Amino acid sequence: MRNPFRSEAEAFSFVLVCVGVFAVVAVAGVLFGGWVALAVFLVLAVGLAFYIKGAPKEAEHVAAHGGGERRCILVVANETVAGRALRGEVVRRAEGDADVLVVCPALNSPLRHWASDEDGARALAHDRLEESLGALSAAGVEARGEVGDADPIQAMDDALRTFGADEIVISTHPPGRSNWLEKEIIARAQERYDVPITHVVVDLEAEREAD
């Protein structure tokens, strides 16, 4: 959802949109009376609300090549960060010599996010991250980790500013249970970053039953 007052420039654009919308309402009011103007206003307001709600995040291409001697792997995962399937994939890909950065987005409720109340979410993400890094270390992969933004795309953007990845591994729950898959995170990441994206599905329930 787009906030029309997110910045001065967007607020200015919103002024222009309002001028247009209310000019139409005013013309309808003068020509056909108050009730028609009200109907026109409601139609335009609903249209505007749908536009604001459905506005897609602007597509932006982000270069992410590491280009260094060591292979750089960026791993992004939330609750599945400590899953065996992900660990196996990371160990396999990091074989030899590789820098691995694990980013664990701090999942939060929308209300808490907008209120910047992120302490609890970050603490939980930190715990999951520690568990994952410990398991990777035990498997012979020395990785480092960061708690990232609740939006995985934003978290990847943030991480790639300081970590030039050669590839990105994104871990999610299976289809039907994954919020990230519903939001088409994988497709958006493939469109956004010019490095190979690997999608790992971690079925935590199946792993627990297997234990």
Nearer to other proteins, 39 or 139 (CB): 39
Question: Can you say how many angstroms the Cα of residue 23 is from the centroid of all Cα atoms in its chain?
Answer: 38
Nearer to other proteins, 40 or 86 (CB): 40
Q: Select the span of 18-26, 88-96, 129-137, 162-170 touching other proteins (CB under 8 A).
A: 18-26
Q: What is the smallest separation between the CB atom of 203 and other proteins, expressed in angstroms? A: 30
Establish if 31 lies at the interface with other proteins (CB under 8 A).
no
Nearer to other proteins, 33 or 196 (CB): 33
Dist CA 45 CA 39 (whole Å) = 10
Asked if 77 contacts 129 with a C-beta cutoff of 8 angstroms, the reply is: no
Q: Which two tokens stand for residue 49?
A: 């609300």
Q: What is the smallest separation between the CB atom of 80 and other proteins, expressed in angstroms? A: 22
Nearer to other proteins, 86 or 168 (CB): 168
Establish if 55 lies at the interface with other proteins (CB under 8 A).
no
Establish if 175 lies at the interface with other proteins (CB under 8 A).
no
Dist CA 13 CA 67 (whole Å) = 40
| Residues forming beta bridges with residue 75, ordered by sequence position | 102, 169
Cα maximum dimension of the chain: 77
Asked if 183 contacts 150 with a C-beta cutoff of 8 angstroms, the reply is: no
Nearer to other proteins, 23 or 63 (CB): 23
Dist CA 120 CA 81 (whole Å) = 18
Show the binding pattern over residues 104-143: x = contacts other proteins (CB under 8 A), - = does not: ---------xxxx-xx--x---------------------
Q: Select the span of 2-10, 84-92, 172-180, 199-207 touching other proteins (CB under 8 A).
A: 2-10
Dist CA 35 CA 41 (whole Å) = 10
Establish if 12 lies at the interface with other proteins (CB under 8 A).
yes
Asked if 131 contacts 160 with a C-beta cutoff of 8 angstroms, the reply is: no
CB atoms within 10 A of CB 6: 10
Asked if 35 contacts 64 with a C-beta cutoff of 8 angstroms, the reply is: no
Nearer to other proteins, 20 or 68 (CB): 20
- Contact positions toward other proteins, by CB under 8 A? 3, 5-9, 11-12, 14-15, 18-19, 22, 25-26, 29-30, 33-34, 37-38, 113-116, 118-119, 122, 149-151, 154, 158
